[in-house]
Structure 1
Amino acid sequence: MSQVRSFFSTTLLTSRWACVFFALLFGIAGTFSFSPFHFWPAAILSLFGLLSLTLNRSIKQSALIGFCWGLGLFGSGISWVYVSIFQFGGMSAPISLFIVLLLVAYLSLYVLLFSCLLGALCPQTTWWRLTLAAPVFWQITEYLRGSIFTGFPWLQFGYTQIQGPLQGIAPILGVEGITFILMIVTGLLAYAWHQRLKIALLLALAFLFLPWPLRYLDWFTPEPKKAVQVALVQGNIDQAIKMDIHSVNDILQIYKNETLPDIDKASIIIWPESAIPDIEKNQKTFLKEMDELLRNHHASLITGILGEQKSSAAPIHDLLFNKVIVIGEKKPYEYPAMNSYEKHHLVPFGEFIPLENMLHRLIPFFNRPMSSFSSGRYEQAPLNVKGLNVITAICYEIILGQQIRDNFQPNADFLLTISNDAWFGHSIGPWQHFQMARMRALELGRPLLRVTNTGVTALIGPRGNVLAQLPQFTRQVLKATLIPTSGITPYARFGIWPLWSMALIMGGIALYCSLHTSFGLNKKGKREQ
C-alpha cells in the first residue's frame, strides 16, 4: 500500500500528462457504475480519483484535471448519442463525431467549474474541503448542469445506488441526496488516503453502509383491492419505418394485432411513445373504432400520439405536441381527447431546435420529421384510467426527478413512462434511461410501468425493483398484475429543500473554516516577517 501511495504522490504530482491520463481513466471508470454494468463501487473510485488528483493544485491545474475527468466520464457514458446522429440523422461519421465531442466538452465544463471552485475557495488539503465543500460545490454544479439550456442531468452518480448500500436514501432525499452522500464518502476516503487517517476511513464506511437498513422501511402501503391486469405492448417498429408517413396504417395494424389477444384479459393496455405516429385529428376514425372495441371488452388504452392545436400568437401556424391520450373509458371518445398529457420538457435538437431557421439550412440533421414540438404545461393533472390516477412522463422527462415530484399527488396510484429509445440502437443509452426510471419509483414509493418501442419495457415495483421485463428488440406484450400503492415518502412531501438546507449549512461551515485558516496563515506569515 505504501508503494502505491508513493507512486501516486511522485508520478501524479510531478507529471502533468500523467494527471491528464489518470483523470481520463478515472472519468471512464465512472461509466461502469451505471447500467448495464451496475458496478456501483466504480462511482466511488471515479470520484475518489477526481478529488485526489486535484489536491495541492493551482486553479489552472485543477481546471485541466476536472475537464479531462469530465471528458472521460461523458465521452464514454453518453457515446450513444453518436448512434442517433449518425444512424438516424443522416450525418457523416466525422461530423457526427464532432457534434458528440462538442456535447461532451460542454458537459465537462461543469466538472471544470467544480474543480475551480474547490481550488479557489478551499485551496488547502483539509477535512472541510473534502467532506463539506466538495459535496456542496458538486451539488451546485450538478444543479446547473441539469438546468442551463433546459438541462442535461444524465449520469448523476446517485443512480448507481439503485442496488447499492445507499438505496434507502432515495425516498428521503431523492437521487441528488444519494449523490451528495456519495461525495461525502469519497471525500472521507480521499482524506484518509492523503492523511493516512484510519478514523476518516471508518467514517467513510459508516456513511456508506449505515443507511443500508433504510431500504427496508415501508414508506408506502400496497393496495391489493385496486390490483389491475395490464398489457404493455412493445411494438419493436424500426425507426426508419416509424419516420415514414406512408407506413402509418401498417404500424397501427401491428399494434392492433398485438393488442387483440389480450383485450379480454387486461383492463389497461398501454402503447409506447408516438405508437400512433400521426396527428390525432388525422386518426379520429381509427381512434373511434378502437374506443368502441375497447369499451365493448371493458378495457382502456393509453397510447402515445401527436397532438395539434391552433396558436393564438401565430394563427397560421399549428402547435405540435408529443402527447398521451386515454380511450376506452365509459365516456365515448371525442376529438380532442381530454383525458390526456402533453410532454413539457422537450429535448433540445431532438424535439425543438434552438435558432431553428438558421440550423435547418446549415445542418440537414435538424430537418428530421417531428423536431419542432411545443411544450405542454409544467404541472398537469394525472391521467385517469379505470378509476386509477396515473402520473405520466414521456421519454426524457422521467429522468427529471423534480418535475415528476412536482406533478405527484397523494392520490396517485402508479407512475407511467412511455418512450421510444430506438434512436439509440443497441447502445448503453436505453439501459441508463431504464435505470433512471427505476429511481423515480423508489423516490415516490409507487410502482412504475415503462412501455417502449424497442425496450426496455418493464413493470417496476415501488422499491425500484424490476418485477417483470421484456427483452429488447422483440415484438411482445408484457402481461402483469399491477398493485397500486398509497402513502407519501419524505421526498414526495418535502422535495429537495432539506438537501439544499443541509448544503447551505455545510457550505457556510466550509467557507468559514477556509477563510479562518487563510487568515491565520497570512497573519502568521506577517509575524514571521
Structure 2
Amino acid sequence: MNFRLNKKTKTIAALIIAGSLFLSVPFLFSGFGFVILFAMVPVLFLEHYTRVNKIRFRYLYIYLTLLIWNAITTYWIAYAKFMGAIGAIVLNSLSFTIVLILFGWFRKRFGKGVGYLFLIFGWIAWEHLMIEGELNWPWLMLGNGFASSYKVVQWYEFTGVLGGSLWALLTSLLIFDIITGGGNCATKKEIKVKNFSLIALIIVPIFISHAMYISYKEAENPREFLIVQPNIDPYVDKFGGMTQKEQDDVLIKMLDENIGDSTLFVIAPETFTSGIVENEPYSSDSFNRFYRTMQRHGNAHLIIGASTHYLYPESDYPLSKRPSYTSRRINNGWYDSYNTAIFLDSTGKYELYHKSKLVPLVEFMPFPKYLGGFRLLVIELGGYFGSYGTQKERSVFTSRDSGIVIGTAICYESVYGNYYREYIHKGANVMSIITNDGWWLDSPGYRQHLWFDQLRAIETRRSIARCGNTGVSALINQRGDISASTEWWTRSVLKGKLNLNEKITTFVKYGDFIGRIAYASMLIFIALAILSLLKISAKAKE
C-alpha cells in the first residue's frame, strides 16, 4: 500500500503541531513565557489556510490544535479523575474554537478590521467569563502564559493578567497581518509603519516592565514567617494511611524544632486537619493539639487549612427549611461543609475563612439545578463529595498587635486576580496561600500554580508566604521574585522575612477593567450580527 500525504495535508499537520506547541511551551518550561506573544500565529494561519483552500470541516483542525494544547498542559487533572480531565480539556478547547468560528464569520460579513476586533474583544471577553462565570476555568488564559517570564509583565499591577492576553493577541494578529497582507499594501510606507508598530509593540512593554522591575523598592518593615511543608501523601497517607494524630504530630514536631522568638506567623497547608465542627472547635482533638502548641509559642500566630462543618440550629432550620443549596441533612437538621483556613493564636482566639472560589467539578457542581445529575464528571478528593459552602466576602486575619493584616487564599483562589485583590480591599498588607498540589503528582500542574502566584504578587504588590503540603512552598516578594523555596515532595520547613505594603495598585483599585470593557463590547457585536442576519433574511424573501 502506497500511502502519501499531499501538500495540503502536510501544511495543515505542520500548522496544528506548531500551534499546539507554541501555545503549550510557555506553560511547561520556565523562562519561555515570551513565546505566548506569537503563539496564536500558527492558529491564525491554520484558519486562513483552511478557509482559502476550502477545506471541509476546517474548524475541526482548529479544535484539534486547541485540544492538543489543553491536553499537553493540563493532562495532570486526570491523576485525580480521568473523566473530570476529559470534561475540562474538551470543553475549554471547544469554547475558544467557537470564538475563532465567530471571528471567521465577522470577518466574512464585515471585513478584516471588524474580524480582528472581534477576535481581540471576543477572546478576552471569554477569558473574563472564565474568571467570573459559574463554570470557570481561567488556567490557560493567554496572559497566564507570561507567568514564568514575570519580569516582562511588571505592568500587571495596572492591567492584571488580561493585559497580557491583550498584548499576545495584538502581537500575533499584527504578525499574521504583515505576513498575509504585506503584498496588498498600497505603499512601502504602510509596510514600514506595520513593521515599526510590531517592533514597538514587542519592545516597549518589555522595556517598561524591566524599568519597573529594576526601580521597584520595597519599604523595609520585615516580619518573620515559618512555612511548614509536612509532605503527607494525599493518595496514600492523608486519608487513611496515617491517623490525624500522626499527621498532627509530624507538623507540630517540625513547628517546635524551627520556630523562633521572632517568628510571627506559622503557615501550614490546605485541609491539613479535618472533622472540626465550627460551632464547638475545641471538641476536636486536633484543634486542641494545635492550640496547646501555640500556647508554647506566645508571639506566633498559626494559619492552617482544615475541612470544617457548621451545624445549623434546628430551631431556625427544621428539615422543611434548607439553609442553602450546599447544605445537607444530619439527623433532624442541616449542616454545611467548608474548605477552611483557621487562624489561631496562643490566647485561644480563632477566626475562620471559608474558601469561596471553588474548583468546578471538584468542590462544587456548576448550575446544580441543571447539572446535578452529572456525578460522573465530579472529581472526588479525599473521599469528599458534594459542593462546599462559601462566604459572600473575603475576610482577613489581624495579628494581636494589629501590625500585620494577612489574607489567606486557599489553593485555586490564587488563580483569580480579580478575586484575589479583594483581600487587599479588606486591608491585607501581606498574603499567604495554602494549597495541596500533591493531587497532581510530579506534573506541570504544581509548577504552573506557583508561577501564577508570582503574578498575584505583582498585581497587588503584596509579599506572599506560600505553603504547599508536598511543595513547592515559597516566599515571594512584591516584584514576584521567589526569594526562597522548598523542593517538591520533600518534608521541609522554610523560614524567612517578608515586607508589608499598604499601597494600592491600579489593578487592585479598578480590577479587571480590560475584561469588563471586552465583555461589554459584545453588545456591539451582537447588534452587528442581528443586523446582518436581518439583511440576509430580507434578501431571502425577495
Q: Which category describes the TM-score, using the shorter chain as reference length?
A: 0.7 to 0.9
| 1:392–1:194 Cα change, 3 Å | same
1:133-185 deviations in whole A, cap 9, x for unaligned? 32112112223344454311111121232325740331111001111121011
Q: Tell me the equivalent position of 1:299.
A: 300
Secondary structure at the residue paired with 2:243? helix
Q: Distance in 2 between matches of 1:135 and 1:466?
A: 32
Contact 2:276 2:284 in 1 (8 A): no
Shift of 1:369: 1.1
Partner amino acid for 1:214?
Answer: I
| 1:201–1:53 Cα change, 3 Å | farther
Shift of 1:129: 5.0
Q: What is the correspondence of 1:96-495 to structure 2 with a 5 Å cutoff?
A: 96=82, 100-123=85-108, 128-129=113-114, 132-162=117-147, 163=149, 166-196=152-182, 197-215=191-209, 216-217=211-212, 222-225=218-221, 227-239=222-234, 240-244=236-240, 247-265=243-261, 266-280=263-277, 281=281, 284-297=284-297, 298-311=299-312, 312=317, 313=322, 314=329, 316-329=333-346, 331-333=347-349, 337=350, 339-353=351-365, 366=380, 369-386=383-400, 387=402, 388-409=404-425, 411-495=427-511
Contact 2:67 2:89 in 1 (8 A): yes
Q: Distance in 2 between matches of 1:399 and 1:454?
A: 19
Contact 1:220 1:445 in 2 (8 A): no
Secondary structure at the residue paired with 2:246? helix
Partner amino acid for 1:234?
Answer: Q
Query: Structure 1: 5+ residue runs without aligned partners?
Result: 1-10, 86-95, 520-529
| 1:118–1:369 Cα change, 3 Å | same
Q: Distance in 2 between matches of 1:142 and 1:246?
A: 41
Q: Distance in 1 between matches of 2:274 and 2:45?
A: 50
Q: Distance in 2 between matches of 1:325 and 1:99?
A: 29
Partner amino acid for 1:325?
Answer: I
Shift of 1:127: 6.0
Q: 1:26 aligns with which of 3, 19, 44?
A: 19
Shift of 1:68: 1.6
Secondary structure at the residue paired with 1:477? strand
Contact 1:188 1:200 in 2 (8 A): yes
Contact 2:37 2:167 in 1 (8 A): no
| TM-score, structure 1 normalization | 0.83
Q: Distance in 2 between matches of 1:157 and 1:23?
A: 18
| 1:279–1:496 Cα change, 3 Å | same
Q: Tell me the equivalent position of 1:92.
A: none
Shift of 1:389: 1.1
Q: Distance in 1 between matches of 2:197 and 2:13?
A: 30
Secondary structure at the residue paired with 2:337? strand
Contact 2:227 2:495 in 1 (8 A): yes
Secondary structure at the residue paired with 1:41? helix
Q: Distance in 2 between matches of 1:412 and 1:316?
A: 36
Partner amino acid for 1:372?
Answer: G
Shift of 1:440: 0.9
Secondary structure at the residue paired with 1:306? strand
Contact 1:51 1:130 in 2 (8 A): no
Shift of 1:504: 5.8
Contact 1:33 1:42 in 2 (8 A): yes
Q: Distance in 2 between matches of 1:487 and 1:294?
A: 31
| 1:242–1:295 Cα change, 3 Å | same
Q: Structure 1 vs Structure 2: percent identity of aligned residues?
A: 20
Shift of 1:293: 3.7
Secondary structure at the residue paired with 2:160? helix
Q: Tell me the equivalent position of 1:5.
A: none
Q: Distance in 2 between matches of 1:321 and 1:161?
A: 33
Q: Distance in 2 between matches of 1:17 and 1:141?
A: 32
Contact 2:362 2:381 in 1 (8 A): no
Q: What is the correspondence of 1:76-91 to structure 2 with a 5 Å cutoff?
A: 76-85=72-81
Secondary structure at the residue paired with 1:267? strand
Shift of 1:66: 2.9
| TM-score, structure 2 normalization | 0.81
